[in-house]
Amino acid sequence: MTIITSGLFWFILGILFCIALVGFKIWMEDRGVKMVWWKWGLTVIWIAFAGFAIAFAGVSIGENEMTAAGMGGLIFGIAVIVSGFIFWRLLHLGKA
Amino acid sequence: MSNNKTPEQLNRRKFLKVAGAASAAAGGLGIGLWSVESGKDPMSHTGEESFQGATQYFNRTKFEVDLPPYEKIGPTRRVDARTEVIFSRIGRLRQEWDDENGIDGLSDDLKAYYEKHPHYLKSDLEYFREVLPKWREDRQKYQDKYVLTHAWNNAMGSVWPPGIPDSEPPEIADFPWTAPGQLARKYKMKSPEKTAELIKQMAYQFGSTLVGITKLNPDWVYKHTMRNRGIDVNKPLDVPEHWEYAIVVGTPMSWDPFYANPTYGSSRESYAKTRIAAYRLAAFIKELGYAARPHTPAGDYDLMVVPIAIDAGLAEQGRHGVLVTPEMGSNIRPAVVTTNIPVKTDKPISFGVEDFCRTCKICADQCPTGAISTEDKVEVRGYRRWQIDISKCHNFWYSNLGNVGCRLCLTSCPYSRKSNWLHRGAMKVSANDPTGLSHGILTDLQQRFYPAPDAEKYFIPSMGGSNASYRKPPHWLQVDEYIDFSGGAK
Ligand code: SF4
Ligand code: SF4
């Protein structure tokens, strides 16, 4: 077991995401966007999706499956960008 | 803290405090869970992962069914291995065939079999007339390329428990004799449940990766066996009473060569591991005073292993005719130990393979000889099942310049992907999808994301192919990296 595949990795990752979300909230407030429950929901879904896209490409590279890494990275990457754009607009609904 | 903060700053501080506390609590819980998990994780038993059952991770309980996922649709008939098992049949054909007398020169049962299945006669004769000469021709040209994989394959098969002697019938060979007429002490076991637990733990200790237990269905025992093993192949076999239970063990083939089938993979590698595990398990059961008989690769069977492994809940049958397990897909070589030790049996499982195979057909596309049907299941000896043309398959095994066999259908099966979060996740989605919608999507993704050579490329050059393999071989089987052929051997 390496540090990357150990639970410690996920523990550290969890802390980092917590801090990142706190920073995100403050940043959105500065932009006049109030983060309500459904906006958090969208944010978490997008983060999970973006994480999946990166992980898909990464695991495929690790498996030496370059076609899967390339096609998956491209398809999921585009989907992440498009959904990110849509979600971003939704987060700004009701902006003060 | 000074008091000259604006209310907004104070709120932010408060929030950060709460977030910090929540992070700390979550982190503490995370560390706790992680440390417990890391303490008991069998993968932390360095080098012993496969001896601890850690690789049989799939929770079968949810997928258990009362009846195996194949259908009995008519009167059943046991296999006559003398004609229906390709190795026996082709061996006999080699000995008995002469061009002058043709089919009339064959033994009655072989002649009757070929009269009923003329396409098998054509295909079996092709083996001698076309496949072998072409293989010999190409072997001269290309054999150096496969020196390392041949050497590895032969070395893996060099430790091989000797088979059951021809002179010992099951009532002798299967029992623990301490002296002529004297059986070893039979220990009373606490319960069938505890015996199952013990047998499974021992099977892992003996090197098996998966293990399952079932009552032996006599339909799976050969009517006429393929090898002597103390049983006269020409007399119908009455299933011995002490073949009451069947314990199925199995091991995978090494990943990298398996992924470079048909040329670089080795069946023998895993045959040896499985055979050793089965012989050890039989020896262990005999030490407790009970009867036990291993039925193992290569060819030392008195029964059909695939349906028994399905009955024992290890797998379902795939379109390619062999096993699809939840853990290793089709990358498994099984064996059986028949025994009379009272033991709790497992239930068969149904985790969506049957439905997946109806849409998938990847193995059929990859099969160089077209041995795998794209049609639905057929009736075979009273059961509805997937059936392949074993004669075509066999001919490809022996045209291969790498290690005998092909195994492409095992490699290309989407269930045979690596055991990581991505493929385990995909398998779980498919297993838990009652609609079958995901099956088409996953098959499509498999074909697009994991492309493979066209099937005809797998043939040897004299048969129109280019010795292709599914993926590149690992560096440790590539001769150019290790062997200097400049002396002219090439
Ligand atoms: S082992 Fe090869 S030839 Fe035989 S059925 Fe599978 S893919 Fe076809
Ligand atoms: S490759 Fe597809 S059709 Fe063939 S056994 Fe595997 S899942 Fe079934």
Give me the residue spans of the domains in chain A: 1-30, 32-96
Determine the pLDDT at residue B377: 94
Asked if residue B471 lies in contact with residue B386, where contact means CB atoms within 8 angstroms, the answer is: no
* Closest-approach residue (CA) in chain B for A60: B422
Range of lowest pLDDT (A8-17, B213-222, B247-256, B433-442): A8-17
* Closest-approach residue (CA) in chain B for A18: B23
Please give the Cα distance from B173 to B242 (Å, whole number): 12
Is pLDDT above 50 for B2? no
Q: How confident is the model at residue B39 (pLDDT cuts 50, 70, 90)?
A: confident
**Residues whose beta carbon lies within 6 Å of some atom of ligand 2:** B 318-320, 324, 356-357, 360-363, 412-415
Is pLDDT above 70 for B425? yes
Please give the Cα distance from B416 to B411 (Å, whole number): 6
Nearest to A72 among B16, B420, B449 (CB): B449
Mean predicted confidence (pLDDT) in B115-119: 96
Determine the pLDDT at residue B48: 66
Is pLDDT above 80 for B98? yes
**Cβ separation B34–A68 shorter than 8 A:** no
Q: Residue B222, SS3?
A: coil
Please give the Cα distance from B477 to A3 (Å, whole number): 30
Determine the pLDDT at residue A4: 62
Q: How confident is the model at residue B488 (pLDDT cuts 50, 70, 90)?
A: low
Residue type, B284: F
A23 touches chain B (CB under 8 A): no
Range of lowest pLDDT (A66-80, B13-27, B326-340): B13-27
Please state the domain extents for chain B.
Answer: 57-482
**Cβ separation B38–A26 shorter than 8 A:** no
**Cβ separation A71–B26 shorter than 8 A:** no
Please give the Cα distance from B284 to B277 (Å, whole number): 10
Distances (CA, A) of B174 to B285, B287, B309, B338: 10, 12, 21, 9
* Sign of the dihedral through C-alpha B390, B394, B396, B397: positive
Beta bridge partners of B251: B333
Please give the Cα distance from B155 to A19 (Å, whole number): 55
Determine the pLDDT at residue B191: 98
**Cβ separation A8–B421 shorter than 8 A:** no
Chain B residues whose C-beta is within 8 A of a chain A C-beta are 12, 15-16, 19, 22-23, 26-27, 30-31, 33-35, 37-38, 41, 43-44, 418, 420-422, 448-451, 471
Q: pLDDT over 90 for what percent of chain A? A: 60
Largest interatomic CA distance in chain A: 49
Measured in angstroms, how far is the CA atom of residue B185 from the centroid of ligand 2?
47
Task: Give the closest-approach CA distance of B406 to chain A in angstroms.
Answer: 22
ipTM given for this complex: 0.91
Neighbouring residues of B31: CB distance < 8 A, sequence distance ≥ 6: A8, A11
Residue type, B439: H
pLDDT single digits (tens) B121-147: 999 999 999 999 999 999 999 989 999
Q: How confident is the model at residue A9 (pLDDT cuts 50, 70, 90)?
A: confident
Identify which ligand lies nearest to the alpha carbon of B406.
1
Q: How confident is the model at residue B46 (pLDDT cuts 50, 70, 90)?
A: low
pLDDT single digits (tens) B446-472: 999 999 999 999 999 999 999 999 999
